[in-house]
Structure 1
Amino acid sequence: MSQTIRVRPARLADVPMMAQVIVQAWGETYRGLISDHILDDPEFTPARERQWTTVLTDPRFIAHRVAVAEINGSIVGVAMSGPGASGSDPLQLYVLYVLKQCHGSGAGTTLLEAVLAPGEAATLWVADPNPRAQAFYRKHGFQPDGLEKVEDDLPMIHMIRASNRDQA
């Protein structure tokens, strides 16, 4: 029997579970790609809790879209988009993580569509290598644009999606 995925806007009460999901997803995704001291830092979870509390309460983030995916009342994924670096940039997808046990469930697509409308222009940074995530984003219209950076010891590539009206 398949489980129903429910995606909804994040609430302040979700912060502890959102932080746990991010920390677990980072471990599942990046173990072996970034330094263990980053993943095993005892301050990692409290830092994510502070981050999400700020995002959900600080007026600087009022234009950000934050959603969680739940299965049976447990949060299994988190996503956030918001304004790009400058006022003229398209939206940026800042966060999209789904626990490994829910990969392939549709939670990622549903979360993506909760924070970025299908066909809405957007950018994102994705780890390289991370072929599963890169294929997921390509499926949703994102393409690498040649920009690269290193963050937390992890090489990243930049991907962009033009809006449907820009492609017409």
Structure 2
Amino acid sequence: MPISQHTKIARKLSEDLRLRPATLADAPLVAQMHVQSWVTAYRGILPDAFLDHELPAERAAHWAHRMTEIEAGAGEVLIAEAGETPIGFVCVANPDDSGSVLVDNLHALPGYKGAGAGSAMLRAAKAWARERGARQLHLYVLEANRAAIGFYESRGWQLAGREDDHMGGIDLIALRYTLALD
């Protein structure tokens, strides 16, 4: 039976995937990957005008500021690379007062979804949180982002609440998910 292209990509990722800490110089790369991910994942959820025209500048400004905070000790961003190719990133924030680490962002580029990069980044986020004495992880996912919800739920994350959110000029619902650390 022939090996599917997806299986080939997954096998290649397992051999070549590495995670490296991002630096302030990586802010444009992280912003670019964030845009690529949102344009695909949020098409039909957020307005096209926002995704196509406003998002690149908005994410560039966001990550320029956020990476300054990260470099000052607010958390960490890890960039997933397959060989020399950046394929995603995860951003984690220091534990809050309740001992929970926010997975602020986790994005695999569209061509690499389902190939194991997201799972590898989640494992790294768990390890990072445990090293800091955290008891759990939490994150927010848009209620309409069914693919992301399925990804997290299949990995044991539990729905913990709903919150109003506002993105791209529209009101949305963000779901809070948590994962207890063993």
Q: So what's the TM-score if we normalise by structure 2?
A: 0.77
1:143 to 127, 141, 158: 158
Cα separation, 1, equivalents of 2:174 and 2:26: 28
CA contact (8 A) 1:55 1:61 kept: no
1:26: which partner in 2? 38
Cα separation, 2, equivalents of 1:56 and 1:125: 20
1:129: which partner in 2? 144
Cα separation, 1, equivalents of 2:50 and 2:122: 26
2:88: which partner in 1? 77
**Do structure 1's residue 63 and structure 2's residue 81 form an aligned pair?**
no
Aligned-residue offset at 1:60: 8.2
Percent of matched pairs sharing the same residue: 30
1:8: which partner in 2? 20
Cα separation, 1, equivalents of 2:24 and 2:71: 16
Aligned-residue offset at 1:112: 1.7
Aligned-residue offset at 1:37: 2.2
1:103-118 correspondence to structure 2 within 5 Å: 103-117=113-127
Cα separation, 1, equivalents of 2:84 and 2:75: 24
Cα separation, 2, equivalents of 1:76 and 1:70: 5
**Do structure 1's residue 162 and structure 2's residue 180 form an aligned pair?**
yes
SS in 1 for 2:114: coil
Cα separation, 1, equivalents of 2:25 and 2:70: 18
Structure 1 residues 12 and 70, CA, compared in 2 at 3 Å: closer, same or farther?
same
Q: Deviations over 1:80-112 (max 9, x none)?
A: 11136x522511111001111101111101112
Pairs aligned (count): 162
Name the one with the larger helix percent. 2
Aligned-residue offset at 1:139: 2.7
Cα separation, 2, equivalents of 1:13 and 1:87: 30
2:104: which partner in 1? 94
SS in 1 for 2:156: coil
RMSD: 2.3
Cα separation, 1, equivalents of 2:116 and 2:100: 25
Cα separation, 1, equivalents of 2:111 and 2:70: 34
SS in 1 for 2:65: helix
**Gapped regions of structure 1 (runs ≥ 5):** none
Cα separation, 1, equivalents of 2:72 and 2:162: 25
